[in-house]
């Protein structure tokens, strides 16, 4: 669906103040019957709304004249976030939801890496992908061994459950998580949309693990969440580093709204659940309203044409589909890579005095939860108990 | 190590802080609620959502030719095979979680040791193995009917939600062996009920061989229940007697 951003006005901001509690809190999806990608879209869009909220708060803290506009838009983003995130069902345990978060991190990142034209940024995405791929394997082992459940009830066979770059080696010194930013003046528009999307997704994953880790009584689960939440922090560091820090606040706001339109549109176009499709349609119209509001502000505040920053029509969308072959290929070719500063090198080329080596040794010196939880674990349909004789 | 029934610094009761609680109570008594009414408004909201909501999910379509044929044949005889498959899958999920539950209890036993009148490690291991065996019995039953034993059916999903509190109690490193056994008692009570229902269903649907297998499982579950119940009771009584002696 072509969407001309120079013409599409969406729903005006005033008309968006039509939410009620009942409107926001709707019947959730079915954990059993809805397609896994419906669940993934909810999780990613919750992350984007969370990012919209956090970004707009940071903006407001640093820019007094923009506070009123930010407050108005932000309140609607908050309504949207509730409407979207509350679509997750309560019979989906926190650990099962975690499995779905990792599936987002695999399938969405794989799609973004395919869309990304800048080879370095695509490499950054694939680097993160292999780490999240490993997290899925570790959490699947935990789900099997703690709750006696099969992760595939959530994954629906779209995603492999295999070791990736082992979580135990992912712990790096903070500066080895920094990356080179794209150049705001030369980067393709899709690079900016891709970068914000992955940042939003990973940041929400960090938030989620940091919040739910203590809900588990099992020390193994608490340890594993602590460990993987740290990698998500590293990923947030990585993905925020690829964004040009010289973008102005207003440029960033424009890009945020454009990224939301682009993402909701992808949801709308690919949604299989008619009830959710209607929600995504409404969200596209509302985000177009936000985008137009911010474009007007941009013209006034920066005295520039917003289409110097955002594209007039939206680029190719995220594909909500299995990327099994892509992921296997990346696993085969790139699992041995490590980062040294902002660059990726084969593990054999990491200098012996790398700060990440010392960091990793220290943080794992009392044991590695991710190794313990998955020791000997091989994914088996119906859980590994199927292979254990009674 | 302190026992949970030792007197300590539990602060949760209103009586912990007589001065502060007096203030709290007086202020509350002087309160005029911001909205008139009672709990019926909550019930009204729930009823509204209940009437507008769909269901958690449904059964999967048959995944094998055998299952599809069986589904058609049973349909001709006006039986709904999905009901039986759903209950089989519910038990399967419960036995699988049950196996993991016994692993948690054994870890607790290994860390803390047992008590007089409590379980031996061998008995816990024996029960663990029986839960695992029952899981295999159910898997075979589902496969023999052409069903996919990995499918999470609605009843299996609910059984997992029901068990989630038990899993939390069992895996908390701060719960004692007797506290874990109490959680296990809840599990075993539900389990024996579940097997009872399955035997009845299998018999009424003419699955006699299956019903025989289930009776074997039921006997084992009744043994589990009797033992766990006794262990819990033994500990409570000993603990109470100990406390009474101390009090005297």
pLDDT higher than 80, residue B70? no
Reported as a single tens digit per residue, the pLDDT across A263-275 is 999 999 999 999 9
Residues of chain A with pLDDT under 70: 1, 390
Least CA distance to B148: which residue of chain A?
A382
- Taking alpha carbons only, the member of A182, A146, A155, A145 closest to residue A35 is A155
Contact by Cβ (8 Å): A148, B138: no
Contact by Cβ (8 Å): A224, A139: yes
Query: Domain residues of chain B, as ranges?
Result: 40-247
Contact by Cβ (8 Å): A116, A59: no
Tokens standing for residue A81: 């976030």
Q: What pLDDT sits at residue A18?
A: 92
CATH 1.20.1110.10 assigned to domain B40-247? The reply is no
Instruction: Report if residue A331 sits inside a domain.
Output: yes
State residue B196 phi and psi, 5-degree precision. Answer: -55, -45
**Confidence tier at B242 by pLDDT (50, 70, 90):** confident
CB contact under 8 A, B160 and A219: no
Give the mean model confidence (pLDDT) for residues B78-103.
Answer: 93
Contact by Cβ (8 Å): A249, A189: no
Instruction: Report if residue A374 sits inside a domain.
Output: yes
CB contact under 8 A, A93 and B133: no
What's the number of domains chain A is made of? Answer: 1
pLDDT higher than 50, residue B15? yes
Instruction: Report if residue A18 sits inside a domain.
Output: yes
Q: Residues of A at the B interface (Cβ-Cβ below 8 Å)?
A: 27, 30-33, 89-91, 93, 145-150, 152-153, 216-219, 221, 381-383, 385-386, 388, 390
pLDDT higher than 70, residue B72? no
State residue A271 phi and psi, 5-degree precision. Answer: -70, 135
CB contact under 8 A, A93 and B173: no
Instruction: Report if residue A96 sits inside a domain.
Output: yes
DSSP for A247-264, please give it. Answer: S-HHHHHHHHHHHHHHHH
> Within a 13 Å sphere around the CA of A151, how many CA atoms are in the beta-carbon half?
30
**B157 touching A, CB under 8 A?**
yes
DSSP for B140-207, please give it. Answer: HHHHHTT--TT---HHHHHHHHHHHHHHHHHH-TTS-HHHHHHHHHHHHHHHHHHHHHHHHHHHHTT-
DSSP for A35-87, please give it. Answer: -HHHHHHHHHHHHHHHHHHHHHHHHHHH-GGGHHHHHHHHHHHHHHHHHHHTT
CB contact under 8 A, A30 and B57: yes
DSSP state of A245: T
Q: What pLDDT sits at residue B80?
A: 82
pLDDT higher than 60, residue B244? no
Give the mean model confidence (pLDDT) for residues B92-120.
Answer: 97
Cα three-residue angle B184-B187-B188, rounded to 5 degrees: 90
- The overall average pLDDT reported for chain B is 93
- The boundaries of the domain holding residue A279 are 13-387
What does each C-alpha distance from A30 to A27, A344, B155 come to in angstroms?
A: 9, 41, 14
Contact by Cβ (8 Å): B135, B96: yes
DSSP state of A157: T
Q: What pLDDT sits at residue B73?
A: 67
Contact by Cβ (8 Å): A252, A55: yes
From the number of C-beta atoms within 10 Å of its C-beta (0-12, 13-18, 19+), residue A212 rates as middle
Provide the 3-class DSSP secondary structure of residue A4. strand
Contact by Cβ (8 Å): B119, B227: yes
Least CA distance to A148: which residue of chain B?
B97
Least CA distance to B55: which residue of chain A?
A30
Q: What pLDDT sits at residue B245?
A: 45
Tokens standing for residue A338: 């490590």
- Taking alpha carbons only, the member of A314, A245, A273, A251 closest to residue A8 is A314
Q: What pLDDT sits at residue B247?
A: 38
pLDDT higher than 70, residue B1? no
Least CA distance to A386: which residue of chain B?
B136
Instruction: Report if residue A26 sits inside a domain.
Output: yes
Instruction: Report if residue A337 sits inside a domain.
Output: yes
Reported as a single tens digit per residue, the pLDDT across B110-157 is 999 999 999 999 999 999 999 999 999 999 999 999 999 999 999 999
**How many beta carbons lie within 10 A of that of residue B137, not counting itself?**
20
Tokens standing for residue A172: 């790096």
CA dist., res. B133 & res. B129, Å (int): 6
Reported as a single tens digit per residue, the pLDDT across A138-180 is 999 999 999 999 999 999 999 999 999 999 999 999 999 999 9
Instruction: Report if residue A2 sits inside a domain.
Output: no
CA dist., res. A205 & res. A249, Å (int): 24
Q: Which residues pair with A344 in a beta bridge?
A: A339
Instruction: Report if residue A3 sits inside a domain.
Output: no
Provide the 3-class DSSP secondary structure of residue A338. strand
- Residue of B42, B45, B54 for testing the chain A interface, max A β-carbons within 10 Å: B54
Share of chain A above pLDDT 70, in %: 99
DSSP state of A34: S
Tokens standing for residue B155: 């009843």
**Confidence tier at B222 by pLDDT (50, 70, 90):** very high
Q: What pLDDT sits at residue B94?
A: 97
CA dist., res. A266 & res. A283, Å (int): 11
Give the mean model confidence (pLDDT) for residues B191-218.
Answer: 96
Q: What pLDDT sits at residue B78?
A: 53
In this structure, is the dihedral angle defined by the CA atoms of residues B61, B65, B67 and B70, taken in order, positive or negative?
positive
């Amino acid at each position: 669906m072509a969407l001309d951003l120079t013409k599409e006005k969406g729903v005006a901001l005033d008309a968006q103040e039509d939410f009620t509690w009942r409107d926001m809190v709707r019947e959730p999806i079915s954990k059993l019957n809805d397609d896994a990608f419906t669940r993934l879209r909810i999780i990613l869009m919750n992350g984007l709304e969370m990012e919209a909220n956090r970004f707009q708060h940071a903006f407001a803290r640093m820019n007094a004249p923009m506070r009123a506009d930010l407050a108005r838009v932000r309140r609607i983003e908050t309504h949207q976030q509730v409407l979207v995130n509350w679509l997750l069902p309560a019979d989906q345990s926190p650990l099962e939801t975690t499995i779905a978060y990792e599936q987002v991190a695999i399938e969405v990142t794989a799609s973004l890496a395919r869309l990304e034209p800048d080879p370095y940024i695509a490499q950054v995405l694939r680097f993160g992908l292999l780490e999240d791929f490993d997290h899925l394997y570790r959490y699947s082992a935990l789900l099997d061994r703690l709750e006696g459940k099969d992760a595939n009830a959530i994954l629906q066979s779209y995603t492999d459950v295999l070791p990736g770059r082992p979580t135990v080696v992912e712990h790096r010194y903070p500066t080895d998580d920094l990356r080179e930013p794209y150049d705001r003046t030369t980067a393709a528009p899709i690079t900016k949309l891709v970068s914000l999307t992955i940042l939003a997704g990973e940041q929400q994953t960090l938030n989620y693990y940091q919040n739910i880790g203590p809900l588990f009584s099992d020390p193994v689960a608490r340890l594993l969440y602590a460990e993987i939440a740290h990698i998500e922090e590293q990923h947030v560091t990585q993905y925020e580093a690829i964004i040009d820090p010289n973008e102005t606040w207003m440029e960033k706001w424009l890009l945020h709204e454009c990224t939301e339109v682009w993402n909701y549109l992808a949801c709308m176009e690919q949604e299989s659940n008619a009830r959710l499709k209607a929600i995504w349609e409404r969200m596209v119209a509302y985000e177009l309203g936000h985008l137009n509001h911010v474009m007007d502000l941009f013209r006034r505040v920066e005295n520039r044409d917003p289409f110097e920053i955002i594209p007039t029509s939206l680029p190719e969308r995220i594909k909500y589909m299995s990327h099994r072959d892509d992921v296997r290929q990346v696993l085969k070719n790139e699992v041995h890579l490590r980062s040294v500063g902002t660059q990726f090198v084969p593990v054999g080329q990491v200098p012996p005095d790398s700060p990440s080596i010392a960091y990793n040794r220290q943080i794992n010196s009392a044991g590695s939860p991710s190794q313990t939880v998955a020791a000997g674990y091989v994914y088996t349909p119906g859980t590994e108990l199927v292979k254990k004789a009674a | 190590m302190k026992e949970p029934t030792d007197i300590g610094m539990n602060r949760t009761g209103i009586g912990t802080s007589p001065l502060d609680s007096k203030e709290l109570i007086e202020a509350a008594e002087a309160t005029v609620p911001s909205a008139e009414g009672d709990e019926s408004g909550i019930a009204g909201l729930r009823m509204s959502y209940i009437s507008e909501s769909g269901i958690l999910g449904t059964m999967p379509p048959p995944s094998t030719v055998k299952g599809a044929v069986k589904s058609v044949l049973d349909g001709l005889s006006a039986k709904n095979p999905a009901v039986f498959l759903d209950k089989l899958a519910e038990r399967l999920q419960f036995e699988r979680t049950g196996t993991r539950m016994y692993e948690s209890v054994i870890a607790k036993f290994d860390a803390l040791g047992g008590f007089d009148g409590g379980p031996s490690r061998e008995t816990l291991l024996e029960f663990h193995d029986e839960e695992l065996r029952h899981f295999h019995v159910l898997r075979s039953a589902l496969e023999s009917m052409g069903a996919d034993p990995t499918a999470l059916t609605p009843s299996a999903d609910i059984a997992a939600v029901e068990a989630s509190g038990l899993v939390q109690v069992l895996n908390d490193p701060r719960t004692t062996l007797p506290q874990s056994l109490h959680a296990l008692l809840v599990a075993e009570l539900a389990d024996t009920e579940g097997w009872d229902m399955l035997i009845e269903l299998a018999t009424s649907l003419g699955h006699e061989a299956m019903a025989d297998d289930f009776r074997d499982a039921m006997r084992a579950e009744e043994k589990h229940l009797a033992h766990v119940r006794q262990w819990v009771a033994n500990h409570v009584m000993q603990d109470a007697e100990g406390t009474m002696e101390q009090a005297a």
